[in-house]
Amino acid sequence: MIYNPKLSGGTERYDTADADIKAILDSHNVDNLIAVLARLGPLKMEIVDREFPSHPDNIKGTTLQQLIKGKTQGNSALQDGLLGLSHGPLKSDVIKVHDAMIIGSSTKDSILHEITLELTPRESNLLAYVYHKIYKAKLWQRIREAESGDSKELLQAVFDPRRQLLPASNTTDAMQLTIDDVQSLNRISASHSQKEKRHMFISILTGRTRPHLARISKMYQEKYGKSLSQLVQSQLEGDYRSALLFVAQGINTSPKYPPDLDPRALRDARRLEETMAGVGINKDILAMRVLRAHWSRERMDSLIEAFPHVNEKHLQLRDRVTGKGEKGMLGKLRIGNYGQAVNEFKFLILVLISDFEG
């Protein structure tokens, strides 16, 4: 769930903004700056960001983002992570979506799907509203202009202002809709048309409540012996498969794991492990995934709890980041002559997965 500033309570009790801004200005190194910024919750960050340029001690009147860029020159991943932290959860998501669509990157689809595909209509409307405030353009229009193919159809479904999640909270036909959806998914599996399959899966996976999707998954598994993830895997192709698999994996439960573990946490833990595995580390994606969990203590706690269940050595997330074991992240990050920058980035990740004051 993305952060909604309109629903997060007042800020009248935040009486340390002056001290926090002074601490940022007095930061002698990047580690100090990371420690100060990471302890601020979303509302405090919003206030600090707004008040920073006009603070009496900020003689040059620089913005918080200008200060961060000055202190992190030559370390793009660290800079990107700290800028995301300074923007707060909602604005950071908006900027990531914009950059992925307009600038493009090798991880473009992954960024777009992770940020948008599980948004409720209320959340997608809020993201579109903030997008318009920042970029003076309608997100719906930008999607039509900038996107093509798979991402376009998926994003149009998510950001359709008419989208509603079924079943409605006051309906008495939830069970019948579950039966209908299960039958529809089973029927469409016999189709030879990828277009028809895509349309059916998109309409259900982006148009149903999370509890309803869980009921669909359970009923389909019991009736046809396949999980929702297995169904998506077997029926769809290409980017549609990977995108909608992201949603399905956040719904599936498995007897392999403790029943109280959130499927979304297990999925996100796997993706985090994949980001740190292999020969190289995609630091930009790693920072984005950790940062998005950082804003919600509940989400981060669930991620930390799930992480030992999804890696071969059953390492805790903190141990995986620090490099415990010969395949640890630290060992790989030491390759090359970028020791100080690497240590600062690692420190950022470690601080983000720790407790913060909000």
- Residues 19-35: tens digit of each pLDDT: 999 999 999 999 999 99
Question: Does residue 175 surpass a pLDDT of 80?
Answer: yes
Q: Are 83 and 37 in contact (CB under 8 A)?
A: no
Residue ranges of the alpha helices (H) in 147-296?
149-159, 174-188, 194-205, 210-224, 228-235, 238-249, 263-276, 283-294
- Per-residue pLDDT at 15: 75
**In this structure, are residues 113 and 95 in contact, taking their beta carbons and an 8 Å threshold?**
no
Lowest mean pLDDT among 24-38, 61-75, 137-151, 215-229: 137-151
> What's the rounded Cα separation, in Å, for the pair 219 and 213?
10
The mean predicted confidence, pLDDT, of the chain is 88
> Given a cut of 50, is residue 3 above it in pLDDT?
no
For the chain, what are the domain ranges? Answer: 104-159, 174-238, 263-338
3-state secondary structure 100-142: HHHCCCCCHHHHHHHHHCCCCHHHHHHHHHHHHHHHCCCHHHH
| 12 has pLDDT over 60 | no
Residues 6+ apart with CB under 8 A from 222: none
User: What Rg do the C-alpha atoms of the chain give, in angstroms?
Assistant: 22
pLDDT at 162 > cutoff 50: yes
How much is the average pLDDT of 115-119?
97
pLDDT at 313: 86
Listed in sequence order, the DSSP H helices in 252-328 are 263-276, 283-294, 297-306, 317-322
> Would you identify the CATH topology of the domain 174-238?
Annexin V; domain 1 (1.10.220)
| pLDDT computed for residue 9 by the predictor | 41
Q: What percent of the chain has pLDDT over 90?
A: 73
CA atoms within 13 A on the CB side of 160: 14
Ramachandran angles phi, psi of 317, nearest 5°: -55, -45
Which DSSP state fits 356? -
